[in-house]
Structure 1
Amino acid sequence: MPRLQALTLSAAALALLAVPAAGQDTSAGDPQFATFTPSSTPNNDKIDYSIWDEAMKNLVISMGPSLRQGAGRPDPGFGTRRQYGHVSRYRLEGTRLMFSFLDADVKASFTEYRKDLEATADKIDIQALSRNEQLAYWINLHNVAIIEQISNAWPIRQPREIEIDGVRLDDAKFITVEGIRMSPRDIREKIVYKYWKDPKVIYGFWRGEIGGPSIQREAYNADNVARLLDKSARDFVNSLRGTQKSGKTLQVSEYFSEAAPFYFPDFEADVRAHIAQFADAETAAILDATSGIEPVIKEHDIADLAGGVREPTYQNITSDGVSQSFRIPQSMGRLLAQREQKFQKIIREGRTGTVTFSNIRLPGDPEDKDTGEVE
């Protein structure tokens, strides 16, 4: 069973964080990936990701829902002209992973867990699992591998700059499943995008960038994968990093362009229809008020709390008005203060509260529809 060293932070740290070129489908020229074709007669086997679930709850911090208000550029730190921490206008959206808090043992446990997931495929028939179980496996393996490599390379400003044996992270074949070496891109494009027709699967894959879909504070599994993908899709398309209005034009994330060969062949019509499925009232109004589409939104900076740098200036933190013996970089303190201000605004404006429905049958669904399954 996959293992992972226990991940814990100090009580003070947890108290601080409690405040409210486009990819191409090349699988046809790589027949070895045909072995991962899902079985037409799935079994009932399951994989236990509870230890990864615990890790995500400790390491992932939500910045809250997008208010569609870009964050202004922060002032340089006191006594210096150098800008530390995050400066992105999207820095108060999505989720962050706390790479700057990880020690060598925790980083090593990521590698161990990735290898355990790889070895799981030698013990059970991945292709014979239910489609949701398979999908959860591939998403978790992909995201564990990305977290592993970013944690090993940290501090780094942009994850896409990481190289493994001279090959950029996304295309480096450092993952091995059933004897087949593969890259994070291979998992997405040669397996999941090839065998799953619902474009919402794109929101499961974390790339370590502020501009991309969020990583969730839970591990994916067969029971929650549909719900978490819906949640991530709504978060992304209703955010500044997903969609914006520029004059009469709809601007969208470059991630849609990357997925176009697989899910959006008629790019404008298909992307607009896809966004409409998850759009809130404000995003729906943007769709109605625009024509044309430009996949130009991007932000490649790392989705962590520290901006991918070690800052030399630290400050003590307070929790419930009491000073703690725990210090964080000034820029991180500033970001978390902005996060708290944002949450207070959400509360004042009455934006809190979500209701999630799963495993339900809707009017018009076919009688044989397997509710909750990602197609």
Structure 2
Amino acid sequence: MHVQLRACMVRASGIAAAIALVTGPAGARDSAVQSGLLAPSTQAPNSEPSSQDTLANSTEPLAMFAPGRNPIDHTIDYSIWSEALSYLVVSMGPSLRKKPQEFDNALGTRRRFGHNSRYRLEGSLVGFTFMNDEVKASFTEYRRDLESVADTLDIQSLPRNEQLAYWMNLHNVAMVEQIARAWPIRQPREILLDGVPLDEAKFITVRGIALSPRDIRTRIVYPNWRNPKVIYGFWRGEIGGPALQRKAFQAAEISNLLDRSAREFVNSLRGVQKYGGTMQVSTVFAEAAPFYFGDFERDLRSHIGDYANQDVAEILDRTDRVDASVYEHDIADLSGGARANAWFSNGQLGRGVSALLAQRQQKFEYMEREGLRTGTVTFSNINLPGDSRDKGEVE
């Protein structure tokens, strides 16, 4: 499968070249080893897995996936997933916190082309229109390969950051896979698997247990990680949620990547807005509230303050109420989920995607003129003598 997915991504590189001027540069053990997914460390394990000793009194069926106390030194390599993301995800850059200009209609018609969401120039968008059947099938095989890793390796016995990267990458691969299979579609929540909405559908199987994307978030990760920045590692396929990064989560840099994603989301219109004396926030925070924001307003304000830029800091200061009401369910797709907006015609990108990428370029040119930062720099953790083994661990 590794070879198949890589071959599909190589073909996709032709698409990447077509939009390169505006998108910028690409930023089961047997099964896993053969595909390059699992790369055991050369260090000896500390001890046998011991997660069950902390879970004996738990009634949660998914408690078996809670992190153990004595992790073993194994890593999972997601480089092939990073390669796929670098071809298919387009970063739209930091939010300018204002509504983009409307697209011009086609001459002589009221028909509108392109993504019309007010959030279309924030976060990231995915080129679903460029995925053929072979690429879509490769995502399914890759998701199954990730599932099979857990058949012979206890995920809960890995270091915490390794576990977190596993769950986030599995969740996001599964979402990309299913949305790609259903495309063209305007909103991922319209996707039904055997009559069940995508986010609730138990189409992911780990250690023989059927899981939904929501299960991974709210029954495995949120209950077992104390830091709310894990919220930003889960991509929901919707333009209103946290952005899909252009690289896979790897344990060594997952904390920094989550910080970057958190900062982008909190300072975007998708994350925080002001309406009178009310700070309106994303409904993503409401889903996570039982785990991270027990006193919703106080705890959320503190969390947002950790990542807020000047504009959002002023919203914190000038509001006295919090309302979790911001969200948009439209697909996070370059074409807005419409085939007519996207396909190549006579060697050219469709009108919708072309218009969107032109707006993106104009935004970046404006930011450069104004001396605004258009990107971010991520520093990976460097292990030095004497550093603890849990350095950079997301608690």
Q: Structure 2 length as normaliser, TM-score? A: 0.85
Alignment correspondent of 2:355: 334
Is residue 265 of structure 1 aligned with residue 294 of structure 2?
A: yes
Query: Structure 1 residues 314, 78: closer, same or farther in 2, change over 3 A?
Result: farther
Whole-angstrom distance in 1 between the partners of 2:252 and 2:3 = 21
1:69 deviates by 1.2
Whole-angstrom distance in 2 between the partners of 1:31 and 1:285 = 41
Alignment correspondent of 2:50: none
Structure 2: runs of 5+ lacking an equivalent: 25-56
Whole-angstrom distance in 2 between the partners of 1:355 and 1:10 = 24
Alignment correspondent of 2:273: 244
Query: Structure 1 residues 33, 2: closer, same or farther in 2, change over 3 A?
Result: farther
Alignment correspondent of 1:5: 5
**One-letter amino acid of the counterpart of residue 226, structure 2:** K
1:326 deviates by 2.5
Query: Structure 1 residues 354, 112: closer, same or farther in 2, change over 3 A?
Result: closer
Alignment correspondent of 1:345: 366
Whole-angstrom distance in 1 between the partners of 2:64 and 2:131 = 36
1:246 deviates by 1.3
**Partners of 2:15 and 2:130 within 8 A in 1:** no
Equivalent in 124, 129, 143 of residue 114 of structure 1: 143
The SS at the match of 2:367 is helix
Q: Residues 48-86 of structure 1, C-alpha deviation per residue, up to 9 Å, x if partnerless?
A: 111101101111100111111111333333343233321
Whole-angstrom distance in 1 between the partners of 2:20 and 2:14 = 10
**One-letter amino acid of the counterpart of residue 211, structure 2:** M
Query: Structure 1 residues 167, 12: closer, same or farther in 2, change over 3 A?
Result: closer
125-134 vs 348-357, greater mean Cα deviation = 348-357
Whole-angstrom distance in 2 between the partners of 1:89 and 1:29 = 44
Whole-angstrom distance in 1 between the partners of 2:78 and 2:343 = 36
Whole-angstrom distance in 1 between the partners of 2:74 and 2:389 = 21
137-146 vs 283-292, greater mean Cα deviation = 283-292
Is residue 163 of structure 1 aligned with residue 166 of structure 2?
A: no
Higher relative contact order (CA 8 A, sep 6+): 1
**One-letter amino acid of the counterpart of residue 303, structure 1:** A
Whole-angstrom distance in 2 between the partners of 1:290 and 1:119 = 49
Q: Residues 321-345 of structure 1, C-alpha deviation per residue, up to 9 Å, x if partnerless?
A: xxxx622211111111000000001
1:2 deviates by 6.1
**One-letter amino acid of the counterpart of residue 245, structure 2:** Q
1:371 deviates by 2.8
1:368 deviates by 6.9
Is residue 94 of structure 1 aligned with residue 115 of structure 2?
A: no
The SS at the match of 1:176 is strand
**Partners of 2:266 and 2:304 within 8 A in 1:** yes
Q: Structure 1 length as normaliser, TM-score? A: 0.89
Q: Residues 267-290 of structure 1, C-alpha deviation per residue, up to 9 Å, x if partnerless?
A: 111110000001112211221121
**One-letter amino acid of the counterpart of residue 67, structure 2:** P
**One-letter amino acid of the counterpart of residue 173, structure 1:** K
Whole-angstrom distance in 2 between the partners of 1:252 and 1:43 = 39
Alignment correspondent of 2:316: 287
Q: Residues 247-286 of structure 1, C-alpha deviation per residue, up to 9 Å, x if partnerless?
A: 2211111111111111111111111000000111221122
**One-letter amino acid of the counterpart of residue 100, structure 1:** T
The SS at the match of 2:279 is strand
Alignment correspondent of 2:338: 309
The SS at the match of 1:250 is strand
Structure with more of its chain in helix, by fraction? 2
Whole-angstrom distance in 1 between the partners of 2:294 and 2:4 = 40
**One-letter amino acid of the counterpart of residue 198, structure 1:** N
The SS at the match of 2:348 is strand
**Partners of 1:358 and 1:372 within 8 A in 2:** no
Structure 2 matches for 1:1-375, cutoff 5 A?
5-6=5-6, 7=9, 8-9=11-12, 11=14, 13-19=16-22, 31-311=60-340, 326-352=347-373, 354-357=376-379, 359=381, 370-375=390-395
Alignment correspondent of 1:321: none
97-106 vs 8-17, greater mean Cα deviation = 8-17
Q: Number of aligned residue pairs: give it.
A: 355
